[in-house]
Amino acid sequence: MEDKSKVDQYYTPPPKLGKWEAFSTFLWNSETGQFLGRTGSSWAKILLFYVIFYGVLTGFFGAMLAVFYQTLDHKAPKWQMDKSLIGDNPGLGFRPMPPIFGWQPQFYNDTENLPANMPNDLKARIKGAKMRNPEELQTIWVSCEGENPADIENIGPIQYKPRSGFPGFYFPYTNSPGYLSPLVAVWFESPKRNVLINIECKAWARNIIHDRDKMVAKDSKKDLGAKVESMNPYEKPPEISTSQSVKNFFYNKETGAVMGRTASSWGKVGIFYLIFYGVLAALVSICFWFFFQTLDVRIPKWQLDRSIIGTNPGLGFRPMPPPSNVESTLIWFKGTDPENYKHWVNQLSDFLEDYKKLGSTAGRGASITECDYHKFPSPDQVCAVNVRQWEPCTQENYFGYHKSGPCVFIKLNKIYGWKPEYYTDVQELPDKMPRDLKTLIGNLTARQAKQLNTIWVSCGGENPADEENIGPVKYIPQQGFPGYYYPYENTVGYLSPLVAVHFERPKTGILINVECRAWAKNIKHNRNDKIGSVHFELLID
């Protein structure tokens, strides 16, 4: 009986309160410690959630706006003239003429074809200017007069200071620092007193249209309503087992609830999140759309020193080790086993596939031409890299791998807009440059002086032991990248020039460390940062 009385006491509903007492209890309940229907811990959890949620949201949009503003030019607007909201037809103001970026006036240079609605006194001033000094016709003329016949009678004589128009040398407006719009002071000498006079001033140029109409924008609002269903908090649910409780959670036959919610409840939640994330996705999409509108698909915004890549190109080599050993730089094969060196030959064949499509590259319709030190490509052309005759570094010759004399292809990494500074004076050659390369450069005669415009390449052993084991090295088609391939400007069909390095007789059974370097005045070498050079190993069984 005692237990039953306790249960009855537990389920006894609270006493009914008056409206004022219920409201005051909602504001502060001294028994439960609730404020506005929630305890302090409940308010703290909600506050923490929204602080984190809106903090992350604010951070995300802040980052997006920061990236967006980095793409803007604070001087030149992206949308100009017809593409802008301002358009290409300037209006007049009581103060300076409103500037339109890049707008160029078209002057009335022919006094015989002046507009019919142009005031006669202005026509006379223009004709007089042509007789005095034709250069004065390079002016955006200004006229002020009464709007109606009565206004014209009451306005009286008018003078324009310093002249009746804006001189053409103030235009176009390009947002240059310190620019001030030209002014015309209109002096109404003796307007009629105590009479309201409507005045209209017009600017006159061939590409200025006069229109008094105004644009009107509409806005609409839509209210959304929601219903809240209540439940009886005082009805004790029946006692059920844990397994039945789990089953009821996934599906409750009595209420039709699935995972604690009815179909209508899930529908409301689904609609809410659909709208919420739909609006969020649309907002992010719009931000991205505006962001990508500021980008050039061909020209990077940040170049050279302002870019992450910098101004010091590195070197790359092909073939690369298999994907299973992607971090390795070891070229290891057995020249007497075709299956063993098959990977290296196939990878070089795939790499050179684009280079074999003369006239176009990968179906992109590129215009490729043969270049030399006396013939440079036009802006819409790129220089060919013909690798078909690079014996013995050809696919038909297995790139020398079947004879244990492998070919390794070297390329210079592309940096947009980078221009090499060549070694044109033998006295400027660095001390660390290999002696045989110095000899090659020094032997170029005066008739071959243009060949000095080359980014030279040298490959050798990293250590004295490697130098002994590497054997003779041959460079095909020449020991460097010709200057007519630079600068790289992301032209359609551009292919990086290559140097095939043929290791003719490297020692077998010994690991050989190889370092290749590119040589130009503005190429620095650093093994740790992997700039200006490339490292790989050779091991031939």
Q: What is the pLDDT of residues 378-394, one digit of tens each?
A: 888 888 888 887 888 99
How far is residue 534's CA from residue 513's CA, in Å, rounded to a whole number? 11
What is the structure's pLDDT at 391? 86
SS3 content of the chain, % helix, strand, coil (to 5): 35, 20, 50
Residue percentage of the chain with pLDDT more than 70: 87
What is the structure's pLDDT at 223? 33
- Final residue belonging to a domain, choices 204, 227, 259: 204
Per DSSP, helices labelled H in 71-148 are 120-132
The per-residue DSSP string of 40-99 comes to HHHHHHHHHHHHHHHHHHHHHHHHHHHHHHHTS-SSS-SS-GGGSSS-S-----SSSPPP
Note the residue count of the chain.
541
Is residue 227's pLDDT more than 50?
Answer: no
SS3 category, 281: helix
Strands (E), 264-392: 315-318, 330-333, 368-369, 382-383
- Please report which confidence band the pLDDT of residue 230 belongs to, taking 50, 70 and 90 as the band edges: very low
347 and 311 assigned to the same domain: yes
368 and 481 assigned to the same domain: yes
Q: Quick one: CA torsion of 423, 427, 430, 436, rounded to 10 degrees?
A: 80
How far is residue 32's CA from residue 13's CA, in Å, rounded to a whole number? 15
How far is residue 35's CA from residue 41's CA, in Å, rounded to a whole number? 11
Q: Does a structural domain hold residue 218?
A: no
What is the structure's pLDDT at 224? 29
Residue percentage of the chain with pLDDT more than 90: 23
Contacts of residue 201, defined as CB under 8 A and 6 or more positions apart, other chains included, come to 92, 142, 143, 144, 186
Q: Does a structural domain hold residue 434?
A: yes
Is residue 409's pLDDT more than 90?
Answer: yes
Instruction: Give the mean pLDDT of 512-535.
Output: 88
391 and 448 assigned to the same domain: yes
> Tens of pLDDT along 236-268?
566 778 887 787 778 887 777 888 788 888 888
Is residue 328's pLDDT more than 50?
Answer: yes
Higher pLDDT, 386 or 23: 386
CA nearest to 210, candidates 219, 220, 218, 200? 200
CA nearest to 437, candidates 503, 520, 353, 359? 520
277 and 170 assigned to the same domain: no
What is the structure's pLDDT at 445? 66
- pTM greater than the 0.95 cutoff: no
Q: Does a structural domain hold residue 102?
A: yes
What is the structure's pLDDT at 96? 55
How far is residue 57's CA from residue 64's CA, in Å, rounded to a whole number? 11
Q: Does a structural domain hold residue 222?
A: no
What is the structure's pLDDT at 383? 87
Determine the Cα angle at 505 with ends 502 and 511, to 5°.
95
Q: In total, how many domains does the chain have? A: 4
291 and 309 assigned to the same domain: no
Higher pLDDT, 48 or 389: 48
What is the structure's pLDDT at 447? 65
CATH of the domain at 123: 2.60.40.1660
Per DSSP, helices labelled H in 239-262 are 242-250
What is the structure's pLDDT at 19? 67
268 and 373 assigned to the same domain: no
249 and 371 assigned to the same domain: no
Is residue 345's pLDDT more than 90?
Answer: yes
Q: Does a structural domain hold residue 150?
A: yes
How far is residue 487's CA from residue 499's CA, in Å, rounded to a whole number? 18
How far is residue 289's CA from residue 284's CA, in Å, rounded to a whole number? 8
74-78, 316-320, 524-528: which has the highest mean pLDDT? 316-320
What is the structure's pLDDT at 503? 92
Is residue 273's pLDDT more than 50?
Answer: yes
Helices 40-70 and 263-293: crossing angle in degrees, nearest 10, is 30
Is residue 97's pLDDT more than 50?
Answer: yes
Q: What is the DSSP letter of 11?
A: T
153 and 199 assigned to the same domain: yes
| Contact in structure between 160 and 175 (CB atoms under 8 Å) | no
Instruction: Give the mean pLDDT of 121-133.
Output: 85
As given in the structure block, the two tokens for residue 184 are 């015309």
173 and 52 assigned to the same domain: no
Range of the domain at 281: 239-295
Least confident piece of the model among 8-17, 20-29, 408-417: 8-17
Residue type, 385: V
Burial class, 118, CB count within 10 angstroms (exposed 0-12 / middle 13-18 / buried 19+):
middle
Determine the Cα angle at 48 with ends 47 and 52, to 5°.
115
| Contact in structure between 459 and 514 (CB atoms under 8 Å) | yes
Is residue 90's pLDDT more than 80?
Answer: no
What is the structure's pLDDT at 1? 45
How far is residue 80's CA from residue 88's CA, in Å, rounded to a whole number? 8
Strand 185-188 and strand 158-161: the pairing is antiparallel
- Please report which confidence band the pLDDT of residue 35 belongs to, taking 50, 70 and 90 as the band edges: confident
105 and 244 assigned to the same domain: no
Is residue 366's pLDDT more than 70?
Answer: no
- Final residue belonging to a domain, choices 269, 295, 321: 295
- Please report which confidence band the pLDDT of residue 17 belongs to, taking 50, 70 and 90 as the band edges: low
Q: Does a structural domain hold residue 498?
A: yes
Q: Does a structural domain hold residue 42?
A: yes
Instruction: Give the mean pLDDT of 276-282.
Output: 91
> Tens of pLDDT along 432-490?
999 989 888 888 866 678 888 899 999 999 999 999 999 999 999 999 999 888 888 88
31 and 97 assigned to the same domain: no
288 and 314 assigned to the same domain: no
Mean of pLDDT over the chain: 81
| Contact in structure between 404 and 429 (CB atoms under 8 Å) | no
Instruction: Give the mean pLDDT of 208-223.
Output: 49
Instruction: Give the mean pLDDT of 68-79.
Output: 72
Is residue 73's pLDDT more than 70?
Answer: yes
How far is residue 193's CA from residue 167's CA, in Å, rounded to a whole number? 33
Cis peptide before 172 (omega within 30 of 0): yes
Least confident piece of the model among 120-124, 225-229, 332-336, 357-361: 225-229
Higher pLDDT, 12 or 375: 375
What is the structure's pLDDT at 450? 85
- In DSSP terms, 382 is beta-bridged to 368
Q: Does a structural domain hold residue 78?
A: no
